[in-house]
Amino acid sequence: MPRLAILTLLLLCAPLAAQETADATQAKVRALVARLADDKWEVRERSQRELVGIGEPARVQLKAALEHDDLEIRKRSSLALVAIGESFSYAVECAVSESEGLRAHGKAALSSLFRIDDGQTLRQLSPYELQMRYYGGGEDLRMTQPPALALARLESFSGLRIFVSPAAAPQWQRVLSQPSMDLNVSGDARQAAYVRPALENSLRALAGNDPAGALRVSAMRIGRAIFFYVCTAAEPAGEEQGRRAGEDLIAALLGDDARSVRAASLLAEGAATDSTASDRIRAEYLTNPDATRLMWLSLALGADDAVRAAVRKLDAAPVVKLLESQDWAAIHMAARFLECHEAPSRGKLLSALVAQGRNTLALSAALWLARGSDLSPEARARARKLLSIREDGLAAATVRWFAGAPELSDEELELVWKAAELQQAESSFFSATMELIARPDVVPRLVDRARTALSGVQETQQALAAAVLTGRATAADLTIALDKLTRRNPGLTQRLAAMFAGCRELDTAAQDKLVAGLCHDDAAIRREYAGALRACDVSLRREVAQRWATRVTEGIGEDETRAPRKFIMARVALWGFQAGMEDVKAMESLLAMATGEDAEKAKLAGGALPDAMEDAVLVKELDAMRTRAKAPHAMLVTAEVYVEFCRRAVAVGDRATFRKYFGMAITLNFQNSYLIRNELNQLQQRLNRLPDSGTRSDLLPRGFALNKLEVD
């Protein structure tokens, strides 16, 4: 037979052969599905494995078997489909079905998709995991606010989310209906070990005294995230609690309210443990961009360019409305949605809420998200009014919006300045005003006002002036600042000291004032003047050091034993500066004192060593000092060095450096070390009071300071 004829015959027969193979496969699938109800366990097991091995060709018959009369067939068909790989959309469709078999399959498929069928993905934290992870540099949280605001602040501040079981919902609503909630986290509010008991105590105080309905807070892990599962005391704990929490999360996801969005944000943490599951969710969303639950999951998993493009095509009105839900997790997810839009678009979407909204949390979030966008004239007029509101968090979000506004009128700048003058320097509003002052186009318009304010008596005015004049201060400005460094206000004096940054020249009178401050009776004031000198250019530091040395020598006189203590302390501080400017003799004197027999002098040397050496070099020197037999007070010196690093970290609001040296200091054990710990605790409290202001990249702020639910 000719070769062409043979090839033609094969091509004609191929579809018939393929059809016969497909028919044979389907017949085999039918037989295997029937065997899922076999009396023998091994037959059922083998049949299920074979169906999984057949894969996609078995899907249609397996779906049909989900509604079979036999429970075993339904169960094993579901397991086989899950193993083959189920789509999210079909799983949701099944999960909300009236059919028992479909409903069970949908929930099982979702559980697998989010990996919560694995006991390690969603579980209660063990006692070891729940214990305090580290001590030192923690940020406590103490507030008395309406419950919705207190809980939102707790979640935004700590990063730990809350999920409430259906059984606990009535008590939870009772909590939310109360006028006020006392929530005090004593310790690090970012650690579950501190937050869990504080939250549980607050909830129990508000939920009532019924023992059967008492609320219990369990620390749970889903994927890499920790959350709090609020349930009743009657609900199971341990492994069973993990299963129940998973069921509750899936049930909440199937809803269409803020609770559904909260559940999506948590379930995404489970899916994130498997990149295949994460990619599947995003890919399926792109094929079905109107699927709201898939959208929230995709955003929670981290939106890529394709997801962001799909989100921008959706109606944003329901999402903007979600900002008014008072549910922090839902607000945060709404922020992720709005972040997908460019700044001009965000401004248009949020203008109506800013112009007419009454909810303080929603208004604060809207203004925060509108940063860098222009608002409608009505919204902008409302923002000007909000500058004078007493709600610090809302007012701060407002001035932060002005700080990022494309244009700022003189009238608006005047309103911000006047409002800031009435604020505390530790407020979020004041911190946000500092962002505004940092704008290059704003500073020149404030210099004259700042010079007037610097000479005034109000400390907040002076702090604002110092921020404006830093880098622009004249000799006259610095002379005024030197007079005010004696104030007992660390926030103000640190800003005044910063005005000396890069200063190369001071007249004789100003240098004499600086030296007088460096020899002051009060150690805290001496530190402020030392901070000012530290900010100066090295050439001026050398000049001042010479004048300082002369004053110290005169003050000590010929009999050191009778010299005023302030000059002895000033001399040690002077050695630190001189050693830092490569004065070998000063370095030798400082190290001799640090390794000497006199404990008090050794401690003084420790406070001066950070000026003498770079941080890394100094830490190594301290390690070596503690191993020497001839350094009896090495531990005390080391502690004082670490405390000095902490003092300087607090002065500039550097939380990371503070935590580092706080942790190193409290591990030291020596006589009277409790004194060091007391000062560290005081420094920590000062640092905690400083506003943790956000930057342009922040999605939402960490801890809104709000006291009322609605704007007056």
Whether the pLDDT of residue 606 is over 90: the answer is: yes
Q: Is the pLDDT of residue 6 over 60?
A: no
In 165-295, which ranges are E strands? 181-185, 215-222, 225-232
For residue 1, is pLDDT > 60? no
Which among 507, 495, 431, 506 is positioned nearest to 466, based on CA atoms? Answer: 495
pLDDT, tens digit, 9 for 90 and up, residues 20-51: 577 788 888 888 989 988 889 998 999 899 98
| pLDDT at residue number 694 | 42
Q: Is the pLDDT of residue 138 over 90?
A: no
Spatial neighbors of 48 by CB under 8 A, at least 6 apart, are 36, 76, 79, 80
Region 52-79: what's the mean pLDDT?
90
Q: What is the DSSP string of 651-697?
A: HHT-HHHHHHHHHHHHT---TTHHHHHHHHHHHHHHHHHS-----TT
Structural contact between residues 150 and 708, judged by C-beta atoms closer than 8 angstroms: no
pLDDT for residue 391: 87
> Average pLDDT of 524-539?
92
Cα distances from 622 to residues 237, 358, 646, 668, in angstroms, run 49, 57, 16, 12
The arithmetic mean of pLDDT across residues 239-265, rounded, is: 93
| pLDDT interval class at 328 (50, 70, 90) | very high
- Do 542 and 586 meet the contact criterion of CB atoms below 8 Å apart? no
pLDDT mean over 303-330: 94
Query: Mean of the pLDDT values across residues 266-295?
Result: 91
> How many percent of the chain have pLDDT more than 90?
55
- Whole-angstrom distance, CA of residue 494 vs CA of residue 535: 11
Entry field: residues in the chain: 712
Q: How far apart are CA 183 and CA 175, in angstroms?
A: 12
CA distances to 24, 144, 510, 558 from 514, rounded to whole Å, are 96, 44, 6, 24
pLDDT at 14 over 70: no
pLDDT 10s digits, 677-705: 888 888 887 887 666 544 434 678 877 77
From the list 239, 171, 253, the residue with the least C-alpha distance to 204 is: 171
Supply the pLDDT for residue 627. 84
Mean pLDDT, residues 112-137 taken together: 81
- Dihedral angle of Cα 495, 497, 498, 503, to the nearest 10 degrees: 150
The residues that bridge with 190 in the sheet, in sequence order, are: none
Q: Is 363 helix (H, G, I), strand (E, B) or coil?
A: helix
**What's the half-sphere exposure (Cβ side, CA atoms, 13 Å) at 140?**
15
Q: What is the pLDDT of residue 5?
A: 59
Distances (CA, A) of 32 to 21, 44, 52, 102, 307: 16, 9, 11, 20, 40
| DSSP, res 144 | E
pLDDT for the residue numbered 129: 85
* CA distances from residue 231 to 123, 193, 242, 248 in whole angstroms, order as listed: 15, 18, 12, 11
- Is the model's pLDDT at 305 over the cut of 60? yes
According to the model, what pLDDT value does residue 691 have? 61
| CA dihedral angle for residue 557, residue 562, residue 566, residue 569, rounded to 10 degrees | 80
**How many angstroms separate the CA atoms of 428 and 203, rounded?**
28
Task: State the Cα–Cα distance between residues 175 and 169, nearest whole angstrom.
Answer: 10
Of residues 15 and 526, more confidently modeled: 526
**Residue corresponding to tokens 């059809």:** 19
Q: What global pTM score does this model have?
A: 0.81
Are the beta carbons of 626 and 655 closer than 8 angstroms? no
At residue 506, φ and ψ (nearest 5 deg) are: -135, 140
Confidence label for 4 from pLDDT (cuts 50, 70 and 90): low
Q: Determine the pLDDT at residue 535.
A: 92
What are 619-642's pLDDT values in tens digits? 899 988 888 767 889 999 999 999
For residues 387-398, give the mean pLDDT. Answer: 90
**What mean pLDDT do residues 75-104 have?**
91
- What's the pLDDT score for residue 353? 96
Which are the contacts of 510, defined by CB distance < 8 A and separation ≥ 6?
A: 475, 478, 479, 482
